[in-house]
Amino acid sequence: MREIHVEPKDYAYVIGPHLEPIATVQPGETVAFFTHDAFCDMLDSNDKVPADIHMPPCPQVGPVRIEGAEPGDTLKIEIISIERVRDWAVSAYRQELGAIVPTNTTRMLSGPIPEKTFIYHFDEATGKYRYNDKLCFDWEPFIGTIGCAHGLNSFMSITPFENGGNMDVPDVKPGNTLYLPVSCPGANFSIGDCHGRQGQGEICGTALEIAAKVTLKFELIKGKTITWPRIESDTEIMCVGAAKPMEDAARIALCELIGWLVELGWDEMEAYQAVSQCNKLYVGSMVNPNYVMVAKIDKEIAYRK
């Protein structure tokens, strides 16, 4: 199986249509990506804080050209596995990052909370990451940042948007399939920022940040157009919306989910009813340039005839 690595000097910090691809992948191909953590693997001690790391956040492996991809296609990505490539993870409080602290966008006169770093060590015996006796949590890995490029915008890789990006959605995990809209020739696919686990909302702004080996199988669905990311598990279909305020992100995810049911043959007003009575609606992340919401419904309901 093919592997894609990048050196620190080649990290991309932007997902966009203008970047030069570092590799080309064929539809049908399975590829392993070696991703770096959101702090460029440099926040490796409880004695350092985020302010010590003078790098942009969220280094990416990419962009990768998907052979034959054109605007209006859909990129289908089976998430085969996420493997640890080191025995530690890091979370940290960074000034101006977080859901319940003043930030660059929710500006306040009151001062920030102090920066603080949590290095978690993975314990093979228990299968848990451990900082101390209380902060000791299960391995539930997922991909924080994964996306195709927008047709015109080039966004910093911390940004979630309609082609994916830094969604920080825990359901983007092994065993599930992700569908992304293709908006530029070649798709300019990008990946990075894997998490050993994360609560819904990623409220302090960082998860258990890990370097990882991520194995993905790519398919290209020609001529199938979607407008926002979709996720499929064995039992559920899910739609992702990213916007501010949070209710607008929810509205996108909900309208997309109803639209998906309509594609499956539902009458729109009945789909609206089914979603109203049966959906889940959770916060993916609320610390990035857009808030991310996920709406989902059981396949058992969605595929009723």
* Segment 142 to 171, residues that bind a copy of itself, using CB under 8 A: 152-156, 159
Closest to a copy of itself by CB, 129 or 218:
129
Closest contact distance (angstroms) between CB of 140 and a copy of itself is 10
Closest to a copy of itself by CB, 25 or 295:
295
Closest to a copy of itself by CB, 189 or 228:
228
Closest to a copy of itself by CB, 118 or 217:
118
Residues 225-284 that bind a copy of itself (CB under 8 A): 241, 243-248, 250-252, 254-255, 258, 266, 268-270, 272-283
Task: At 111, give phi and psi (nearest 5°).
Answer: -75, 165
Instruction: Say if CB 300 and CB 175 are below 8 A apart.
Output: no
Query: Which of residues 99, 130, 185, 217 is near a copy of itself by CB under 8 A?
Result: 99
Residues 10-29 that bind a copy of itself (CB under 8 A): 13-14, 16, 18
Closest contact distance (angstroms) between CB of 116 and a copy of itself is 6
Closest contact distance (angstroms) between CB of 262 and a copy of itself is 11
| Token output for 184 | 């530029």
Closest contact distance (angstroms) between CB of 264 and a copy of itself is 10
Query: How buried is 249 (Cβ within 10 angstroms: 0-12 exposed, 13-18 middle, 19+ buried)?
Result: buried
Closest to a copy of itself by CB, 27 or 259:
259
Residues 108-127 that bind a copy of itself (CB under 8 A): 108-113, 116, 118
Query: How buried is 257 (Cβ within 10 angstroms: 0-12 exposed, 13-18 middle, 19+ buried)?
Result: buried
Does 39 bind a copy of itself (CB under 8 A)? Our answer is no
Which residues, 6 or more positions from 225, have their beta carbon under 8 angstroms from its beta carbon? 72, 73, 74, 181
Instruction: Say if CB 91 and CB 203 are below 8 A apart.
Output: no
From 37-45, 64-72, 176-184, 288-296, give the range in contact with a copy of itself by CB under 8 A: 288-296
Closest contact distance (angstroms) between CB of 123 and a copy of itself is 16
DSSP strand pairing (2-4 vs 30-35): parallel
Closest contact distance (angstroms) between CB of 75 and a copy of itself is 21
Closest to a copy of itself by CB, 154 or 233:
154
Residues 187-206 that bind a copy of itself (CB under 8 A): 197-204, 206
The secondary structure of 106-148 as a DSSP string is S--SSPPPPPEEEEEEEETTTTEEESSSSSEEE---EEEEEEP
Which residues, 6 or more positions from 6, have their beta carbon under 8 angstroms from its beta carbon? 12, 22, 34, 61
Instruction: Say if CB 194 and CB 210 are below 8 A apart.
Output: yes
Closest contact distance (angstroms) between CB of 20 and a copy of itself is 11
Dihedral of CA 15/18/22/26: which sign?
Answer: positive
